[in-house]
């Protein structure tokens, strides 16, 4: 199987992380050599920046600059080398999250984020993005049952409604790349949706 770059997106509590392993199992069965990673994170530097991002107060522009700095290191040290070796990369969040959280949630200018995307990625984009779409109220209930909230997860439902709308905008801008998953379905139902997308693409 040729190298693929697959990302997983959605508001906190959508359940995307649960299904990364499902995708990994499916692709390994097809003979893929996989690298699983996450953002912010994936390298020693990026993980350090993740800690700041999740726990230190800052404005939207600072958030974006911090995450794109982490992304640059992640691309150079992990993602690009893996793809060059023919490996498939599964990444929990990527640039769509920046447009959703800092663009939609924080109200940052879309064009500023687009410029950062161009500078940092130099044309590199995912081959497929799973968008786990769910009502923010349902996601909030799931988060409350699962873990202690970080500083972003503590924000109100209006914030997450804006994040969700920004994901929809990104999906509308790249319909061939995005696969919307109804994340309000059962775990089994979501898993079937994910596998169906892979099978439709012959993966």
User: Domain coordinates of the chain in residue numbers?
Assistant: 5-201
- Please give the annotated binding residues for ATP, written as ranges: 10-17
Long-range contacts of 58-61 (CB under 8 A, 24+ apart): 59/106, 60/102, 60/105, 60/106, 60/107, 60/108, 61/102, 61/108, 61/112
- Asked if 8 and 93 count as a contact pair (C-beta separation under 8 A), the reply is yes
| Structure-token pair, residue 195 | 């596998």
Q: Note the pLDDT of residue 8.
A: 98
CATH superfamily for domain 5-201: P-loop containing nucleotide triphosphate hydrolases (3.40.50.300)
Cα angle, residue 86 at apex, residues 68 and 190 outer, rounded to 5°: 70
Q: Classify residue 62 by burial, with Cβ atoms within 10 Å: 0-12, 13-18, 19+.
A: middle
- Please give the annotated binding residues, written as ranges: 10-17
Q: Note the pLDDT of residue 80.
A: 98
pLDDT in tens, the chain (203 residues): 689 999 999 998 888 888 999 999 999 999 999 999 999 999 999 999 999 999 899 999 999 999 999 999 999 999 999 999 999 999 999 999 999 999 999 999 999 999 999 999 999 999 999 999 999 888 878 777 766 766 766 777 899 999 999 999 999 999 999 999 999 999 999 999 999 999 999 99
Q: Note the pLDDT of residue 18.
A: 84
Q: How would you write 122-141 as a 3-class SS string?
A: CCCCCCEEEEEECCHHHHHH
């Amino acid at each position: 199987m040729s190298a693929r770059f697959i990302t997983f997106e959605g508001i906190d509590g959508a359940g995307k992380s649960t299904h990364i392993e499902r995708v990994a199992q499916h692709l390994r069965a097809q003979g893929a050599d996989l690298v699983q990673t996450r953002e912010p994170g994936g390298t020693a530097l990026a993980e350090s920046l993740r800690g700041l991002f999740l726990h230190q107060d800052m404005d939207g522009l600072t958030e974006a600059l911090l995450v794109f700095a982490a992304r640059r290191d992640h691309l150079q040290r992990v993602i690009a080398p893996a793809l060059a070796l023919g490996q498939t990369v599964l990444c929990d969040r990527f640039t769509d999250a920046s447009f959703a959280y800092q663009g939609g949630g924080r109200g940052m200018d879309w064009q500023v984020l687009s410029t950062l995307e161009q500078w940092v990625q130099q044309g590199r984009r995912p081959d497929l993005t799973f968008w786990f779409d769910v009502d923010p109220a349902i996601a909030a209930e799931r988060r409350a049952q699962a873990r202690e909230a970080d500083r972003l997860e503590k924000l109100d439902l209006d914030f997450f409604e804006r994040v969700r709308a920004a994901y929809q905008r990104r999906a509308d801008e790249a319909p061939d790349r995005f696969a919307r998953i109804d994340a309000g379905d059962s775990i089994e139902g979501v898993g079937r949706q994910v596998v169906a997308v892979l099978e439709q693409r012959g993966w």
